[in-house]
Structure 1
Amino acid sequence: MTDFSTDFSLQHAAAGSSARDFIELLKPRVMSLVVFTGFAGLVAAPGHIHPVLAAVAVLCIAVGAGASAAINMWYDRDIDAVMTRTARRPIPSGRVDPAEALAFGVVLAVVSVVVMGLAVNWTAAALLALATLFYVFVYTIWLKRRTPQNIVIGGAAGAFPPMIGWAAVTGGVDLGSVVLFTLIFLWTPPHFWALALFRNADYTRAGVPMMPVVAGPDSTRRQMLAYTLILLPAGAAPYAVGIAGPAYLAGALVMGGLFVLCALNVLWATDDRPAKRMFGFSILHLFTLFALLVGEHLTGGVPS
């Protein structure tokens, strides 16, 4: 239940809102990885796109991702207020009015899709719209507060960017973009469950049915290991379908193996430190794979 002081601060947030507060609504740290994977999909796609249009496509992916984050913060403002990790976000801390945050997110979402369609192509725009709608309605509104499978299903929203980047070049959806989508889709559960393990008290207090809250830490650890084992061949799949070269394959196998070791350490852990390390490593893991993919394509290291 929200107290009077919180209501008062939210009602008067707009007067004290700054540009920095609105930028924070976009979750820029999360956005950076999303944008990079979208850029990687664009670079890895067969064909050519004018550099200006490529920049527009990447910008639209960034704006669309930020719009989704802003709408997510608007909807989750009640649970954000009771979680230590999120209590100082712009809305629960009273720095941005909820209605303004919602309007900000909706306007950015619409603009990103329209500009993508008009400047690049409507396939990429449709995928960008689908990613935004999926994140807002399927993950945030429908799944997040109802099922421990929220991340498993809802994680698809974060897997769309390389597919969007790919479509910006090709105008379609091909096997290569589906492989990149699948890679992120399988990476998402162990990544977020590692966070949920060491933030279990937060999610419990907020009533969010993350896997550790519902199934318990032991079951979550076993599922994390299962996903990292499945992710190992999935990480090699870009090489198998011909969109990555040997340097990528070597890096994917090494990073995938280390991710499995992280999951084993979490499985055997008696405290939260291995989960924190796995969460941090998971970001490095995904970034490294897509950086190798980009590097090979930019240097001509992918066999034709």
Structure 2
Amino acid sequence: MATSATTTPAMMPTEWRDFFALTKPRVMTLVIFTAICGVLAAPGSIHPVIGFTAILAIAMGAGGSAVLNMWWEADIDAGMKRTMSRPLPGGRMRREDARDFGIFLSAVSIVLMGLAVGWLAASLLLGAIIYYAVIYTMWLKPRTPQNIVIGGGAGAFPPLIGWVAVTGEITAMPILLFAIIFFWTPPHFWALALFVQTDYEKVGIPMLPVVAGERATRRQIMGYTVLLAPIAVAPWLIGGTSWIYGSVAVVLSALFLLLALPVFTRTRGETDAMLPEKRLFKFSIVYLFVLFAALVADRVAAYQGLIA
């Protein structure tokens, strides 16, 4: 890594808000939500304190890996319009402080998960941190346009870890929850990449629209959306959920496909401010929240005896 201007003596004072911003709170919201859904949807029970501790450890681990991501990419962030105001490129924090904070959060999260919940869940959390901070951030992202495909596994860990925290084992259902987020990530992120691709091009990150072009990116968005649909419905098909989740998954996946279609058919000459891409990106966030909420609702209905 090159030395950033953010390490010069003439720095702005660091506030607690800057440390919090390093954890990517917007992304953290989705991480915590899917982890909670994994805990609540899992069969069996967990003591509320242990359950809260598991969620806290997942949040700390996700935050720690996000901090390490920002530490490593400080120079890249400084060259991109949407990230140049972050604490490190904004000159509000030393890189060394960010690195140490990320390592601290990550280490504490693993130890806390292992001692309070179980070492299988802790091992998965360690894998998620390494996956995001090292495999994705340091290795894949600067080297391959398929970075977000393989790196999508990092964001898919929370519900899997939450489920394992309750059951102590890895079965088909948590693997499917992992797969849903894994296949959801490419169309979600590439829809964003299409309307911010100039930022990635400027800093030399080989995102798919930059390297392969818009047409190839649109094809892959459609392809992954088609693959996502049966995977999202699979928990119902294998008997892991009832019609409550199944019907929601079918409707949401159909809407996802309908919104992906104009992104796929859009031509370079159209001038509508990337509206299909922005609609797909925004809906993809709603899609995941509602889908996982339906998973919990299904579990609650079964617990209350409302469904067989």
Give the TM-score taking structure 2 as reference length.
0.94
User: Of residues 236, 239, 249 in structure 1, which corresponds to 2:246?
Assistant: 249
CA 1:233 to 1:103, structure 2 compared with 1: closer, same or farther past 3 Å?
same
Counterpart code for 1:278: L
Structure 2 counterpart of 1:225, from 184, 201, 222: 222
Which residue does the alignment assign to 1:300?
302
The answer on whether the counterparts of 2:225 and 2:257 sit within 8 Å (CA) in structure 1 is yes
Q: 2:87 & 2:220 partners in 1: Cα distance?
A: 34
Secondary structure at 1:160's aligned position in 2? helix
Shift of 1:303: 5.5
Which range is displaced more, 283-292 or 35-44? 35-44
Match of 1:286 among 275, 279, 288: 288
Q: Which residue of 2 aligns with 1:275?
A: 277
Structure 2 match to 1:70: 67
Q: Pairwise CA RMSD of aligned residues?
A: 1.8
Q: Which amino acid aligns with 1:287?
A: F
Cα deviation digits, residues 46-90 of structure 1 (max 9, x gap): 211101100000111111111110000000111100001111111
Give yes or no for contact 1:242–1:303 (8 Å, CA) kept in 2: no
Give, in whole Å, the separation in 2 of the partners of 1:105 and 1:133.
12
Tell me, what secondary structure is at the counterpart of 2:232? helix
Tell whether 2:255 aligns with 1:263. Answer: no
2:103, 2:49 → 1: CA distance?
25
Matches within 5 A, 1:141-290: 141-269=138-266, 270=270, 271=272, 272-290=274-292
1:67 and 1:104 in contact (8 A); partners too: yes
CA distance in 1 between counterparts of 2:307 and 2:147 reads 38
Q: Share of identical aligned residues, percent?
A: 52
**8 Å CA contact 1:263, 1:278 repeated in 2:** yes
Q: Map Cα deviations across residues 21-58 of structure 1 (whole Å, 9 max, x no partner).
A: 10000001101101111111111212111011000001
The letter of the residue matching 1:276 is: K
One-letter amino acid matched to 2:104: V
Take 1:294 and 1:92, find their aligned partners in 2: how far apart are those partners?
40
Q: Secondary structure at the match of 2:93?
A: coil
Letter in 1 for 2:249: A
Q: Mean Cα displacement is larger for which, 263-272 or 94-103? A: 263-272
Q: 1:265-285 deviations in whole A, cap 9, x for unaligned?
A: 112332411111111110000
Contact 1:71 1:136 in 2 (8 A): yes
The answer (yes or no) to whether the contact 2:163–2:174 under 8 Å persists in 1 is yes
* Cross-structure match for 2:104: 107
Q: Give the whole-Å Cα distance in 1 for the aligned partners of 2:10 and 2:16.
A: 13
Answer whether contact 1:10 1:95 (CA < 8 A) is retained.
no
Question: Which one-letter code corresponds to 1:291 in the other structure?
Answer: A
The separation in 2 between residues aligned to 1:142 and 1:201, in whole angstroms, is 22
Unaligned runs of 5+ in 1: none
Q: Which runs of 5+ in 2 are unaligned?
A: none
Aligned to 1:26: 23
> Aligned partners of 2:40 and 2:9: how far apart in 1?
45
Tell me whether 71-80 or 44-53 shows the greater mean CA deviation.
44-53
How many correspondences in the alignment? 301
State the match for 1:40 in structure 2.
37
* Residue type of the alignment partner of 2:288: L
Deviation of 1:10 after TM superposition, in Å, equals 3.0
Q: Deviations over 1:112-143 (max 9, x none)?
A: 00000000110000000000001111100000
Tell me the distance in 1 between the aligned counterparts of 2:69 and 2:26: 15
- Partners in 1 of 2:126 and 2:9 — Cα distance? 32
TM-fit CA distance, 1:163: 0.7
Q: TM-score, normalised by structure 1?
A: 0.95
SS at match of 2:220: helix
Tell me, yes or no, if the aligned pair for 2:241 and 2:295 is still in contact at 8 Å. yes
Query: 2: CA distance between counterparts of 1:299 and 1:94?
Result: 50
| Distance change >3 Å, CA 13–CA 233, structure 1 → 2 | farther
